[in-house]
Homo-oligomer: A and B are copies of this chain.
């Protein structure tokens, strides 16, 4: 761990926080992922060894606590919440371009699955099918099964009746999800379509709560 040898609290904080992946681990914990393999799903390109190491470091530093196999933030860790949010807003405003490798459908679905607004989804089981036309290698079809308080992500057809289908480019769906464009704008030119009964088509955008950074105004 590279020390800066400065008494400045920014330097002392960054000694801990500027190591690769650390802030993303904290982001996942702030999103209420508490189990090792849940954290992994939000950090698919991080090796398990490194995730383990980071969790130990954060525990040693007093930001994270492990209790009955569940990771949780301490007061110190939770106080980074507003900072992570501000960084998200800053990133949404100023780091524009997304490369194709940034567009990971697995990550998108995992993120969407935990931001389902259960008050907005009809009772019973709803199945949202995603069909991304621009994803190669058979990872273009996904299903979100919402039943009660449970939401499951499937990369195979779970067999239930599909309530509604989102059909189009992954890039556009990500742009909507990040708040770069609104649902309305994003559906306008046909790069993305919602297919299903009229009432569900109208309601679907309300089934998901966008992230805090999504509503941040973009620079003119």
Contacts and interface: CB of A to CB of B under 8 A. Distances in A.
Interface in A1-22: 2-22
Given A12-B102, A18-B22, A75 B219 contact: yes
Given A8-B27, A9-B95, A14-B24, A79 B87 contact: no
A188 interface: no
Given A5-B45, A23-B14, A88-B8, A76 B102 contact: no
A-side interface mostly: helix
Nearest to A170: B7
A10 B84 contact: yes
A16 B104 contact: no
B178 A9 contact: yes
A7 B103 CA distance: 6
Contact of A95 (B13, B45, B219): B13
A86 interface: yes
Interface string A96-115: 00110111100110010000
Given A20-B18, A75-B219, A87 B6 contact: no
